[in-house]
Amino acid sequence: MTGPAPAAIPVARHAPPGMKGAAPAAIPVAPAQKGPPVAKPAPAGAKGPVAPQAVEPTHHEDVVKHFAGHVDRANLSSAKKAAHKQTAAQVLRQMTPRALRRIVRHSQGGIHYHNDLASLRDGLAAYLEKGGQAEYAAPLRSGKTRPGGAFTWLRGKGALHLDGGYSAEQIAAGRVGSRYGRAASARDIHAHELSHAIDGQLGSKTALSQSQEWKDAYHAEIVPSLPDGTAPLSEYARKKHGDKYLYNEGFAEMGRLLYSGTVSHEEVQANFPKAYAFWVKQGLVAPLAKLLATDDKPRRTMLHEIFDTSITTGPIHIDAISGDKDER
Ligand SMILES: [Zn+2]
């Protein structure tokens, strides 16, 4: 997707990419509901300039190192390691301290990086089998389900499972793709899956996507079709499992929109004012330094489709792809 440059997040300074030799899992988890105070976000629709939210650069650096440590521990090529670290850092730096704290707290079961889709599938299957969830591993082993990324919650701990998506060269060569849209970039996958971690344990009362406020915003802005019949955010964001909407997918797709850096926050707010206000209120996005006066632009689907099937069942959440092309 092309679009205007993302709104600058007021981060004072960034850690350099490629944190070689960083120690994994060195981040202490802040107690639930505690932690450094987050500047009070402005209400959506407020007039005039809004003071930017304070973002703690130290915390960004810590979490970037935390991810880099997990990348270093994975069995990856050096090129893939460098790529994963760069992508994780790019996405993490779009986030607020509260978003980062939730990711760290909700990934105590590990951040599992893989070289490609095949090793992601096998690694996820092994993880599920080890966790006593063989029934969920079976469709992976049989090849029925092809995960593009996953977030699981086993034995009280969340875990991220990432391949990281495809390189620009692979996408340009047309060698990868989902059935409905273009291939997922590494930033797409990271932003979507990390947003599942921000959301938290599926089915728990603490999961943000299960709050009435999110559901209201979802039904008002993510479900209704645009005049041309297309989805405002993405088809995947308004997917149903049976007759139930997958609010968590809408949440993760909103996170992809906000954190993958492809669309300005002004545009996000103009198209999804309620959903955007929810994310700001939760302290997950820095408020805009400058608000738009009006939105008179024609609306369009804001995200390309990258996933085909959401497998949201029990403790497992898998974003599956069903394109007939492989990445190699
Ligand atoms: Zn998802």
The whole-angstrom separation of Cα 45 and Cα 273 is 8
Report how far apart, in Å, the C-alpha atoms of 236 and of each of 42, 121, 269 are: 30, 21, 20
| Distance from Cα 307 to the centre of ligand 1, integer Å | 8
DSSP 3-state of 217: helix
In the chain, domain spans: 57-290+298-320
The whole-angstrom separation of Cα 180 and Cα 18 is 33
| Distance from Cα 248 to the centre of ligand 1, integer Å | 7
Question: Tokens standing for 6?
Answer: 């993302």
Question: Tokens standing for 147?
Answer: 């995960």
The whole-angstrom separation of Cα 211 and Cα 116 is 35
| Distance from Cα 319 to the centre of ligand 1, integer Å | 5
| Distance from Cα 324 to the centre of ligand 1, integer Å | 20
| Distance from Cα 219 to the centre of ligand 1, integer Å | 18
- The predicted pLDDT at position 310 comes to 83
| Distance from Cα 160 to the centre of ligand 1, integer Å | 11
- The predicted pLDDT at position 1 comes to 38
- The predicted pLDDT at position 100 comes to 95
Report how far apart, in Å, the C-alpha atoms of 104 and of each of 128, 136, 233, 258, 264 are: 21, 25, 27, 19, 26
| Distance from Cα 310 to the centre of ligand 1, integer Å | 6
| Distance from Cα 271 to the centre of ligand 1, integer Å | 21
The whole-angstrom separation of Cα 154 and Cα 173 is 38
| Distance from Cα 196 to the centre of ligand 1, integer Å | 7
The whole-angstrom separation of Cα 57 and Cα 12 is 6
Alpha carbon of residue 317 to chain centroid = 13
- Span 147-180, pLDDT tens digits: 889 999 999 999 999 986 666 666 665 544 444 4
What DSSP string describes 145-214? --EEEEEEEETTEEEEEE---B-HHHHHTT----SSSPPPBHHHHHHHHHHHHHH-STTSTT-GGGSHHH
- The predicted pLDDT at position 159 comes to 96
What DSSP string describes 245-306? E-HHHHHHHHHHHHHSSSS-HHHHHHH-HHHHHHHHHTT-SPPPSS--S---SPP---S---
The answer to whether 98 and 284 have CB atoms below 8 angstroms apart is yes
- The predicted pLDDT at position 46 comes to 41
The answer to whether 62 and 16 have CB atoms below 8 angstroms apart is no
| Distance from Cα 12 to the centre of ligand 1, integer Å | 31
- The predicted pLDDT at position 172 comes to 60
| Distance from Cα 162 to the centre of ligand 1, integer Å | 12
Alpha carbon of residue 193 to chain centroid = 4
- The predicted pLDDT at position 183 comes to 67
Q: Is 55 left (phi over 0), alpha (psi -120 to 50) or beta?
A: beta
The whole-angstrom separation of Cα 158 and Cα 315 is 9
| Distance from Cα 21 to the centre of ligand 1, integer Å | 30
- The predicted pLDDT at position 12 comes to 33
| Distance from Cα 30 to the centre of ligand 1, integer Å | 25
| Distance from Cα 296 to the centre of ligand 1, integer Å | 31
| Distance from Cα 166 to the centre of ligand 1, integer Å | 17
| Distance from Cα 14 to the centre of ligand 1, integer Å | 28
Residue 112's beta-bridge partner residues? 161
| Distance from Cα 119 to the centre of ligand 1, integer Å | 19
| Distance from Cα 148 to the centre of ligand 1, integer Å | 9
| Distance from Cα 317 to the centre of ligand 1, integer Å | 7
| Distance from Cα 125 to the centre of ligand 1, integer Å | 17
CB atoms within 10 A of CB 322: 14
| Distance from Cα 153 to the centre of ligand 1, integer Å | 14
Alpha carbon of residue 31 to chain centroid = 23
Its pTM stands at 0.77
| Distance from Cα 294 to the centre of ligand 1, integer Å | 31
Q: Smallest Cα–Cα separation from 153: which of 98, 87, 117, 206? A: 206
For 84-117, b/e burial (b = at least 16 CB within 10 A) is bbbbbbbbbbbbbbbbbbbbbbbbebbbbbbbbb
* Residue ranges for the chain with pLDDT beneath 50: 1-26, 28-56, 175-180, 291-296, 324-328
Pick the CATH number of 57-290+298-320 from 2.50.20, 3.40.50, 3.40.390, 1.10.3470: 3.40.390
| Distance from Cα 53 to the centre of ligand 1, integer Å | 27
The answer to whether 281 and 239 have CB atoms below 8 angstroms apart is no
